[in-house]
Amino acid sequence: TTLADYAADRRAPTPTAAAELAVPVRAELAATLADLGHRQRQCALRPVSLGRERLEARVGRLPRPEALLQGPAQRLDEQGERLRRALRDRASRGREALGRLRLSPAILERGLRDGRLALAGQRLESALVVRPIAERRAALDALARLAEQLHPDRPLARGYVRVMDGEGRTLTSRTDAAAKDRLVLKFHDGELGATPDGSAAPPTPPSPAPKPPRARRTAGTPARQDDLFE
């Protein structure tokens, strides 16, 4: 729109008025610009404000840090208290055990006395059981050696002869031998018949069967020495 148009339409009575209509007033323009700037700032700040409100709402729904840490802190306190009690109990038991193990003259003397009593008991038990058996075994061995040495046939190996009658009884004197009709001379390797007057002897009857070996005496039976010349 030009000034001529305004003047033709009679909107402005003068050219100055027409110029005022064609050109906006500075104050109005400044006000319009200010309003537009305000609106622009509002449009720019509104998303930020909405975001802040949403963030504050979500923060309000979150639990407090104290509430989050309250349970773990309580459990930590309980575990710490249990650990302290366990350490105190362990230390107390250790002190008691150390007190029991601590060497003292009374404990040493008691242990030495108990050891001596146990050793004496073992020696006494061994003496009561082993010694009688050993003594009886030694006595039996001595009797066996004595019986072997005193056996009437033992000297025969050294050239001696045992004189017996026809029934196998040993004759120890000349008178007993002269009274017999027949004699038996026993050597270490066999027997030979003879007569007291030196004549030929009748056939020698078979010698009696040897007696079975005598059973050895056990440890509980009393010692008994038989006649060595039976």
Instruction: Region of 222 please: left (phi>0), alpha (psi -120 to 50) or beta.
Output: beta
Whether 87 is covered by a domain: the verdict is no
CB of 140 closer than 8 Å to CB of 217? yes
- CA-CA distances (angstroms) from residue 228 to 135, 141, 152, 190? 24, 17, 7, 20
pLDDT in tens, the chain (230 residues): 565 665 555 566 766 776 666 666 677 778 888 888 888 888 888 888 888 888 888 887 877 777 778 888 889 999 999 999 999 999 988 888 777 666 566 666 777 788 888 877 777 666 666 777 778 888 888 888 887 777 777 777 777 888 888 888 888 888 888 888 888 888 878 888 888 876 555 555 555 555 555 545 544 444 454 444 44
Strands annotated E in 36-194:
162-165, 183-187, 190-194
Residue with the two structure tokens 């050294």: 158
Whether 133 is covered by a domain: the verdict is no
Domain interval for residue 173: 152-205
Whether 39 is covered by a domain: the verdict is yes
Whether 113 is covered by a domain: the verdict is no
Residue with the two structure tokens 């009679």: 10
Tokens of 217: 């005496």
Q: What is the pLDDT of residue 1?
A: 57
* Measured distance CA(18)–CA(2) in Å, rounded: 9
Report the domain count for the chain.
2
Whether 147 is covered by a domain: the verdict is no
Q: What is the pLDDT of residue 83?
A: 92
Helix (H) or strand (E) run with residue 68 in it: helix 65-101
Whether 164 is covered by a domain: the verdict is yes
Whether 178 is covered by a domain: the verdict is yes
Q: What is the pLDDT of residue 87?
A: 92
Please tell me the pTM assigned to this model: 0.27
* Measured distance CA(139)–CA(224) in Å, rounded: 11
Whether 26 is covered by a domain: the verdict is yes
Q: What is the pLDDT of residue 230?
A: 43
